[in-house]
Amino acid sequence: MKKIYNPEIKEWGELLKRPTQTIADIEDTVLQIFDEVKAEGDEVINAYTQKFDKVAIQNILVTPAEVEEAKMLIDEELKTAILLAKSNIEAFHNAQRTERVAVDTTDGVSCWQEKRAIQKVGLYIPGGTAPLFSTILMLAVPANLAGCKEIVLCSPPNAEGKIHPAILFTADLCGVTTICKAGGIQAVAGMTFGTRSIPKVYKIFGPGNQFVTVAKQLATKFGVAIDMPAGPSELLVVADDSANPAFVASDLLSQAEHGKDSQVILVSTSKSMIELVEKEVAGQLEKLPRKEIATAAIENSKLIYVENDQIALDLINEYGPEHFIVCVANEDFYVDQIVNAGSVFIGNYTPESAGDYASGTNHTLPTNGYAKQYSGVNLDSFMKSMTFQKISKQGIKNIGNAIELMAEAEGLQAHKNAVTLRLQSLSEN
């Protein structure tokens, strides 16, 4: 990992740059595949599955028999763990429900807001180097709580043309209505336009590599909403001498093993902590089954020393990490003042892995600095806020003249007339 000491503010932009391609580098490829899927549907999706996933698929849709087979292949202990995680995620997201908001803005004018579920949602579940069945819990659980009628899941098949049994088990457990063997850009295109096998959806959720991220962003050009630009995983830890260097190193590596384009950063006010963490990373890395992937990610990562907590906080807010771990004596300083982070983990015994799996919070979070303006997935992500109003005779009398004056000032006579006619009818009675 590259060590940087006391970087100047003018260097922060370059220092904190993510190791990802820009949308311009990938856009042409995405748009080409989108055009082909829109025109030819399943056939093109199968062709790209064979090209990228190296397997020929006869049927994109997962059958009930395949789901039942998958259930038999899952270890009972893993099933129990998944059920525990599901229970905690349900509890946290169910607590996010809000009541109807109603107010009489003036006598005779009643306004209220209610939430309605998005009817059709699509879930993208990575399944390449790591089958992320935990992401199904994070997406399908709140989708069901919200009341979404159709939940479509796309995940790339393995070399045998199958989806990992843990993905199928979890999808069935969480009420997914359609499961499709499709990954990458072609899966996002399928959910954007709809094909013979893949239903068209109104909003697409889920993380993915750079190609999936750009595909989701471009899907918005075709009338489909997305949760957020969620690309390669990233983690930033702030630590001082009160931290456990072995714990810090394990957290850094837990994100580094996600993918070669992941990024992890340690910011510290202690030079000795930086040295200790660097040694721990080297030692723990050697024991990881995904050593090659983690090693590549570590090359994109940094150990940054700064002189005090305020500089550290300013740098962290500038970066806007997806995951932010606070392991310092004065943790309240960071917890109270962090404004740009997807999810925050506090203390030596709060690993980021807890949020990834079973604590209850959602792990689908904004990356690439989008934590500055996007929230992570939550119950409201699967809902729309709708406003309602009802105006009585007295109400239109109370606000009618103001509407007439404002409409006339904007030159919108028909708007004015819609009120004037009503007021005249009341004055005649």
Residue with tokens 């096998």: 197
252 in Cβ contact with 288 (< 8 Å): no
Name the residue type at position 38: K
Residue with tokens 């457990």: 173
Please check if 381 is assigned to a binding site: no
Please check if 410 is assigned to a binding site: yes
* Rounded Cα distance, 330 and 168, in Å: 44
Please check if 408 is assigned to a binding site: no
Please check if 323 is assigned to a binding site: yes
Rg, the chain, Cα only: 25
92 in Cβ contact with 108 (< 8 Å): no
Task: Of 317, 360, 312, give the one whose Cα is nearest residue 342.
Answer: 317
Please check if 415 is assigned to a binding site: yes
* Rounded Cα distance, 66 and 180, in Å: 12
150 in Cβ contact with 119 (< 8 Å): yes
Containing H/E element for 71? helix 64-73
List the catalytic residues: 322-323
* Rounded Cα distance, 110 and 206, in Å: 38
Q: Which residues are annotated as a binding site for NAD(+)?
A: 124, 186, 209
Q: Which residues are annotated as a binding site for substrate?
A: 233, 255, 258, 323, 356, 410, 415
Q: Which residues are annotated as a binding site for Zn(2+)?
A: 255, 258, 356, 415
